[in-house]
Amino acid sequence: MIRTSGLVKYYGRVMALQGLDMTVPPGAIYGFIGQNGAGKTTTLRILAGLLLPDGGAAEIAGYDVVRHPRAVRGVVGYMPDFFGVYDDLRVGEYLLFYAAAYGIRGQRAARLRDDLLELVELGDKRDAFVDTLSRGMQQRLCLARSLIHDPQVLLLDEPASGLDPLARVEMREILKELCRLGKTIIISSHILSELADLCTHIGMVTAGRIIRQGLLHEVLAAAHRRNFIVRCYGSLVPALAVLEAWPGVEIINATEEQVEFSLSNGPAQAAALLREMISSGAAVTHFAETQQSLEDTFLQLAREGGEA
Amino acid sequence: MSRERDRTDHTAGPPGPAGSGQTTRWHRREWLKAFLWNQWEGLRNGLVPMLGKEMRGRTRGLRSPLLLSFYLGLMSAGTVAFLWLMTDRTSQIMPQVGLNLYSLLVLGMILLLAFIAPAIAAGAISGERERRTYDLLLVTRASLTGIVLGKWLASVAYLLFLVLAALPVLAVVFLFGGVPLSNMGMALVVALTTGLGYGALGLALSAILRRSQAATIVSLVLVFMLVFGSLVVAGVVSAGRQPAGDMPVPVGEPWQSVPGPPWYVYLSPLTALSPALPGTEGEGLAMSGRIPLVGTLLNEIMREFQMDPASAYARKMSYAYGVYPGTNPGSPGVPPPERGWGALPPWSRFALCQGILAVISLAVSILVIAPRKPWSVWLVSRRARARGQGGIPL
């Protein structure tokens, strides 16, 4: 659905995108993750047709963003990270205005307005002035606006920024509903955990390059180092000896009570390691995997990407 | 329908390979049709909603009634004060009171409009940037031309509303009579073209300067310079050109043309206004002493910059400060008919200048707000072609 190849963008002499390759399959919710300044907003603005790339190519639903900007606008709904609303318009008028700007008029526009306000749970606010809405409501209204022309692709730049937890949950539910409706969605964020239970796919961007992308669980599994904690009854020395000799083990922390280590291999190796420890005479009372946070995974990936 | 046509983007050129001459012609025709359709769609998608939204927004809130009250208040106060002064002194109404009142009102209305128009338009585009609604607008299927025209026409519509609102005040003149309707129509044309041109100028500055406050201030200064400055410059320049010393008046010589006024004086509505006011037709501004306000005002401005002998020469030539072309008094024969620019009456010269100013300003606005400048699109496409990625490179 969306493909970029070798996307390059300069701001003056700063290279914001250094050959970004991104592939988003149809129907995916693609989490676009990176730190501030990594190039997320630049990429989304290029895809929305608001910026011209200095090199490379980008294609949405078969249309090249440079050569067919008009067609791209028809299939893309874009919600920027910072946006404003016309404070002198009512909610309904606001949506009708954008509907007309997309060439939708009359009965169809009115029906769309009502359906979309229902979808983003603002049905009862139709006649309220836009500036009386809360931040979360304005965010949802802006989402409704980006859906007014029934786009196949949604580009959401930090849609959850500035929202309270309840509003985030509401936003998440709406996005899941949109995914069920068959939309392809790109959501950018600098907080991985915010997206982890929402996205089907993920792309991690650092310094203008995608360092890893694919299905969420595959990316995480590939990047994941399993961390374990071992506790023994009595001395830890035999267990430590086994660990130090075992390939792929990295001891993170060893105290008198427990050893924390990471294992780069799969669960079969973990089982073999435990067997070896017991047979070497260690009285193991506790052998458990600790959950590595998504943020740690991301930071680790970012480090690896930076080194590469 | 429109989506099908959209597949043929105007930047892409005629689609498909040209098999034969007939196919190429067919492709060209289809491409042209799609291009024109896209342009029309973009224009409509921008103009119609933008016009509606702007007019709705402008008439909501306190700003509009306040502005209208201020504008009508000033005009009414001027009328009342003028009538009070005129009647109090003489205790009888002189026949030219109506004309003088009319001149005052028209001058006041046009000066007010000249400064209100850019002030209204100056926030139009920079306001979108400041409110961060600009990107949301650019990703729609509205064309930039449609958006800019919508903004411009909305401010013009508001000005039209102000002009219409002032008509009852102008109608006081009919109590006294003496003003032909055609003359009033001319004054209204000057008022509207003032708004059109200066409004477009404000819009362009709004696009260029990005901040409403800066755009408002700069546009007001620029309009001040256009309204008064152009006349002052004309005065200085014509003073420089006049020979110092009294020239003999070429009485009895065949008709000879006197150099016309410089074009830039027609950027000021005052120039257009002087013959649009009754009693000044066919006379230079210096001679329009019968209309006290306009005549003396303009004369005083000019006189400051003109040496006395030159002024005397100009008066003898019945040509003052390059504002209105004249003929040598007493010369035999009929002057040859003027053609082109010279044949236009001053108010239509002004309207023409305002039209050109509006077109240039609107074009500048569109180019400035375009997120993808035409030349950079061309550069990027050329680079892609140079790399051998003629089609969609993916």
Q: Do B3 and A51 touch (CB under 8 A)?
A: no
CA B47 to chain centroid:
20
**Separation CA B91–CA B84 (nearest Å):** 10
Residue numbers in A near B11 (CB within 8 A)? 67-69
Compare CB distances from B139 to A48, A67, A87 and report the shortest one's residue.
A48
A5-17: per-residue pLDDT in tens?
888 898 888 888 8
Residue numbers in B near A129 (CB within 8 A)? none
Q: What is the pTM of this model?
A: 0.77
User: Which tokens hold the place of B356?
Assistant: 């050109």
Domain boundary among A162, A184, A214: A214
To test the contact with chain B by mutation, choose from A85, A86, A90, A131 the residue with the greatest count of B C-beta atoms within 10 A, namely: A86
B189-202: per-residue pLDDT in tens?
888 899 999 999 99
**Separation CA B191–CA A205 (nearest Å):** 58
Top mean pLDDT of A12-16, B42-46, B78-82 is at B42-46
Q: What percentage of chain B's residues is helix, strand, coil (to nearest 5)?
A: 70, 0, 30
Phi-psi region of A41 (alpha: psi -120 to 50; beta: other; left: phi over 0): alpha
Q: Do B140 and A83 touch (CB under 8 A)?
A: no
Phi/psi at B116 (5° precision) = -75, -40
CA B7 to chain centroid:
39
Bridge-based pairing state of the strands A63-64 and A76-79: unpaired
Task: Please say if the pLDDT value at position B154 is more than 60.
Answer: yes
Domain boundaries, chain B: 48-223+346-385, 240-269+279-343
Instruction: Kindly report the length of chain A.
Output: 308
User: Which tokens hold the place of B92?
Assistant: 């009888």
Lowest pLDDT segment from A50-64, A153-167, B96-110, B118-132: B96-110
Domain boundary among A170, A194, A214: A214
* A126 within 8 A of B78, measured Cβ to Cβ: no
**Separation CA B158–CA A87 (nearest Å):** 19
Q: Do A86 and B394 touch (CB under 8 A)?
A: no
Same domain, A164 and A232: no
Same domain, A180 and A273: no
Average pLDDT, whole number, for chain A? Answer: 86
Residue numbers in B near A54 (CB within 8 A)? 380
Task: Please say if the pLDDT value at position A180 is more than 60.
Answer: yes
pLDDT for residue B94: 67
Domain boundary among A164, A179, A214: A214
Same domain, A183 and A276: no
User: Which tokens hold the place of A127?
Assistant: 């006649």
* A192 within 8 A of A297, measured Cβ to Cβ: yes
Closest residue by Cα to residue B270 from B205, B342, B324: B324
Domain of residue A264, CATH code? 3.30.70.100
State the residue range of the domain holding A255.
225-291
Q: Do A50 and B135 touch (CB under 8 A)?
A: yes
Please state, for a pLDDT cut of 70, what percent of chain B lies above it.
Answer: 66
Name B240's Cβ contacts closer than 8 Å, sequence gap at least 6.
none
Q: B367 versus A196: which is more confidently predicted?
A: B367
Q: Does A305 touch chain B (CB under 8 A)?
A: no
A75-134: per-residue pLDDT in tens?
999 999 888 888 888 999 999 999 999 999 889 999 999 999 998 888 899 999 998 988
User: What is the arrangement of strands in the sheet containing A2-11, beginning at the earlier edge strand?
Assistant: A14-24, A2-11, A55-60, A63-64
Looking at the domain assignment, is residue A99 inside a domain? Answer: yes
**Separation CA B41–CA B50 (nearest Å):** 14
Q: Do B142 and A5 touch (CB under 8 A)?
A: no
Residue A188 burial (CB count, 10 A): 25
B243-264: per-residue pLDDT in tens?
444 444 444 444 444 555 677 8
Same domain, A128 and A269: no
Domain of residue A89, CATH code? 3.40.50.300
Helices B212-224, B124-131: crossing angle, 10 deg rounding: 170
User: Which tokens hold the place of B272?
Assistant: 């257009």
User: Which tokens hold the place of A149?
Assistant: 């022309």
Reported confidence tier of residue B392, pLDDT bands at 50, 70, 90: very low
User: Which tokens hold the place of A83?
Assistant: 């946006």
- From B51, which residue of chain A is nearest by alpha-carbon distance? A97
CB burial of residue B19 (10 Å; 0-12, 13-18, 19+): exposed
